[in-house]
Chains A and B, each alone.
Chain A
């Protein structure tokens, strides 16, 4: 069964500090990996989408890495801000039929404190 595991489940950091969130997956065949940010009480919003050939992708202070060989990804947040407090969800897409082909991780809940 395809699985996406994220760690840690929760994390508390001080404003201005950096942090790294981890994602391991067993989805096969692989199409792409996505990171979403979900604010409390809101829907997920896309941060990055990475295909097999991409090792690193940045979106402002967010940098995602992908190692397709070891099936691992990370999301690095630089100089955290209070607005970064949210859940971060790793999602992996299978490389075949449409529709039922996204596997979602359980998310990492990040809290940034002043």
Chain B
């Protein structure tokens, strides 16, 4: 049982380059989330998808786009990377929504933008 799988684990980009972070979950969860984690700060929500076919902005959506490809997969795209987007990105999923549902995280994707 893999849970939540993220790729790539590490990536170095130059300013202005684009890339997509991939996330897949095998728990048949409805909701999926992308967070970023910066030193000394709590995780912040970038985008989320409450169910297949829907996406919504979180706390820090600027500079990012997402796609809920199907129930399993939720990708995060940086169209023109900036040094401020250097961070560790976590994908998470939940079966019942965040009011009661457990949140399962992937292992993270470490992104450095030069």
Using CB atoms and an 8 Å cutoff, list the residues of chain A in contact with chain B: 4, 31-32, 34, 41-46, 49, 89, 93, 95, 98-107
User: Which listed residue, B42, B56, B104, touches A89 by the CB 8 Å rule?
Assistant: B42
- In the assembled complex, how far is the CB of residue A3 from the closest CB belonging to chain B, in whole angstroms? 9
Structural contact, B105 and A98, CB atoms closer than 8 A: no
Give B70-107 as 1s and 0s: 1 = Cβ < 8 Å from A's Cβ atoms.
00000000000000000000101000011110111111
Structural contact, B102 and A106, CB atoms closer than 8 A: no
- In the assembled complex, how far is the CB of residue B111 from the closest CB belonging to chain A, in whole angstroms? 14
Count of B interface residues, CB-CB < 8 Å: 28
User: Which listed residue, B56, B92, B106, B108, touches A41 by the CB 8 Å rule?
Assistant: B108
- In the assembled complex, how far is the CB of residue A7 from the closest CB belonging to chain B, in whole angstroms? 13
Structural contact, B58 and A98, CB atoms closer than 8 A: no
Structural contact, A100 and B102, CB atoms closer than 8 A: no
Structural contact, B56 and A99, CB atoms closer than 8 A: yes
User: Which listed residue, B41, B48, B104, touches A100 by the CB 8 Å rule?
Assistant: B48
User: Which listed residue, B40, B45, B100, touches A102 by the CB 8 Å rule?
Assistant: B45
A43-B107, A45-B105, A46-B102 known; A98-B45 Cβ under 8 A: no
Give B5-27 as 1s and 0s: 1 = Cβ < 8 Å from A's Cβ atoms.
00000000000000000000000
User: Which chain A positions have C-beta within 8 A of B108?
Assistant: 41-43
Using CB atoms and an 8 Å cutoff, list the residues of chain B in contact with chain A: 4, 31, 33, 40-45, 48, 50, 56-59, 90, 92, 97-100, 102-108
- In the assembled complex, how far is the CB of residue A16 from the closest CB belonging to chain B, in whole angstroms? 29
- In the assembled complex, how far is the CB of residue B3 from the closest CB belonging to chain A, in whole angstroms? 9
- In the assembled complex, how far is the CB of residue B50 from the closest CB belonging to chain A, in whole angstroms? 5
User: Which listed residue, A32, A45, A103, touches B42 by the CB 8 Å rule?
Assistant: A103
Question: How far is A113 from B73 in the complex, measured between Cα atoms in Å?
Answer: 40
Question: How far is A107 from B106 in the complex, measured between Cα atoms in Å?
Answer: 18
User: Which chain B positions have C-beta within 8 A of A98?
Assistant: 31, 50, 97-99
Question: How far is A103 from B59 in the complex, measured between Cα atoms in Å?
Answer: 10
A42-B107, A98-B31, A101-B99 known; A4-B42 Cβ under 8 A: yes
